Amino acid sequence: MTSQPLAADDDASGDTVVHVLRHGEVHNPDGILYGRKPGFHLSERGQAMAQRIADTIGHRDITHVIASPLERAQETAAPTAAARGLEVLTDDRVIESENDFEGTPFSLSSLTQPQIWPKLWNPFRPSWGEPYADIARRMSSAIKDARDAADGHEALVVSHQLPIWIARLAAEGRWFVHDPRSRRCSVCSLTSFHFRGGRLLRVVYSEPAADMIPISERGKNFSSGGRGAAQEQAS
């Protein structure tokens, strides 16, 4: 599998592309690991990021726009759906992963706190949240259905960092256990799955909104970009 910039003429005629987009920056001044909690919306920068995506891929042959039910994903999907004259379809299978630390301030430094160690006994499952294998199954199923719905065209699926990363690891036949800091999935990045028929040809990663992420946050895949953004999953 490859990682390279997304090009407008990247696909052969008749191929299907499923672009899986991570949501934009979230307004979260308290640094809460929000997980599946409702009420977390895009920040002003996140809204601009979502518009950047629409400006970048709105001209492409996108026939379906699908999003996680969470507000930040729906809001990220909206500009591209509007540009294409499409309705945002909600798919619960691409929702954020479950996490025992949801609703609390959390970062990688929290892993040094003895009171949480009992939750960390099994990094292979993982023991603190939704099993990686379950995430892979639901995301792979959702991507397959998006591929079939957009057969010969393109689909946009708006999801969340960990589910997107696990979907990529599954597609590439890689081990699910990983350091969260190693994820290539910044805010409003595209992980694009290119198919010919039912066969996956390649995975292409691009960051159309990379220049909008504060310099201090670039490369910090564990955060959503900026102090006003949410802490991402520890799983």
**Hey, is 181 helix, strand or coil?**
helix
Q: Of 58, 61, 65, 83, nearest to 12 (Cα)?
A: 61
Beta bridge partners of 43: none
| pLDDT for position 227 | 41
* Helix-helix angle 161-171:132-149, to 10 degrees: 80
HSE toward the beta carbon, residue 186, CA cutoff 13 A: 18
| pLDDT for position 7 | 39
Q: How far apart are CA 41 and CA 113, in angstroms?
A: 29
225: left (phi over 0), alpha (psi -120 to 50) or beta: left
| pLDDT for position 228 | 39
| pLDDT for position 187 | 95
pTM confidence score: 0.83
Q: How far apart are CA 72 and CA 199, in angstroms?
A: 31
Helices and strands in the chain, H and E counts:
4, 6
Q: Which residues of the chain have pLDDT under 50?
A: 1-11, 222-235
| pLDDT for position 114 | 74
Residue type for 189, please?
Answer: S
Nearest 10 degrees: Cα torsion 201, 232, 189, 199: 10
Domain definitions of the chain by residue range: 16-217
pLDDT tens column, 60-115: 999 999 999 999 999 999 999 999 999 999 999 999 998 867 777 766 666 677 76
Handedness of CA 224, 225, 231, 232 (dihedral sign): positive
* Residue whose entry in the numeric block shows the structure tokens 């259905």: 145
| pLDDT for position 31 | 86
Q: Compute the C-alpha angle 149/77/20, nearest 5°.
A: 55
**Alpha-carbon separation of residue 138 from 159, 162, 179, 228 (angstroms):** 12, 13, 22, 30
Backbone angles phi, psi at 168, to 5 degrees: -70, -45
Q: What is the CATH number of domain 16-217?
A: 3.40.50.1240
CB 90 within 8 Å of CB 69 = yes
